[in-house]
Amino acid sequence: MSKLSTIINLIKDIISPKICYSCKKEWHFLCPQCLQNIKKYNWFCYNCKLKSDDFEIHKKCQKYVYYEKVIILTHYKNNLIKKLIKDSKFYSRQEILNDFWQYLSTLFLENEWVINKKDYIIISSPMYFFRKIVRWYNQSEILSKSISKNLEIDYNFKIIKKVKHTKQQSKLTKQDREKNLENVFQINKKYIEQIKWKTIIIVDDVISTWTTINEISKILKENKVKKVIWLVIASD
């Protein structure tokens, strides 16, 4: 973070202090102590939901999906987490994400053995351009950029594009989910050489079904990406 950004954030904290949604103490919207009191995701395979070291997808489960790891901080069904995410997403409280990108950075390092940072690229979960215009920002991009700076890993939000508007996946049947995602995501051909044999870290706030993350992962793997890791705040 630049000196100017640090100064601006300090001024904001003085004018309008951050208050923890849970304990009401200042300096955080979700303080570390309150995060510890929230049930976190244990190590598990996102496909079969059975225990797995460092959130790795079991070898047998990798036959059905295109990602190798889904690292999740906590449960979306927790009312406090749900309110924090909704406020950051729909009510222009972007500063809430400042706590989450720090927690996600730590969680990633705890669950991925990084030898060479040049082998990794961070991207954000793509948002359809019209939705971004309406909302003015993509919360996944904010998280991704901050995590990238913190971990000193390259970031590129242009690698994957969402070219169609889609219905909410969690409200559809399995068959309809697949139809809903047909030809929705595209790789940016300009960056195909850049991503070959790299590990791609895709950052998002919430995932509710495996269909979307698998479709994006599939496109990356078809373009010779070595490994796909999802890093998210919450899931059902």
Q: Where in the chain are the domains? A: 1-34, 38-235
* Phi then psi dihedrals of residue 59, to 5 deg: -55, -40
**Which CATH number does 38-235 carry?**
3.40.50
At residue 45, does pLDDT exceed 90? yes
Please name the helix (run of DSSP H) or strand (run of DSSP E) that holds residue 175, with its range, or none. Answer: helix 174-180
Q: Per-residue b/e over 54-80, b at no fewer than 16 CB within 10 Å?
A: ebbbeeebeeebbbbbbbbbbebeeeb
Whether 47 and 65 have beta carbons less than 8 Å apart is answered as yes
Structure tokens at 156: 């590129």
At residue 137, does pLDDT exceed 90? no
At residue 36, does pLDDT exceed 80? yes
Percentage with pLDDT > 90 across the chain: 69
Pairing of the two strands 227-235 and 199-207: parallel
Q: How many CB atoms lie within 10 A of CB 173?
A: 9
Kindly report the pTM of this predicted structure. Answer: 0.89
Confidence of residue 1 (pLDDT cuts 50, 70, 90): very low
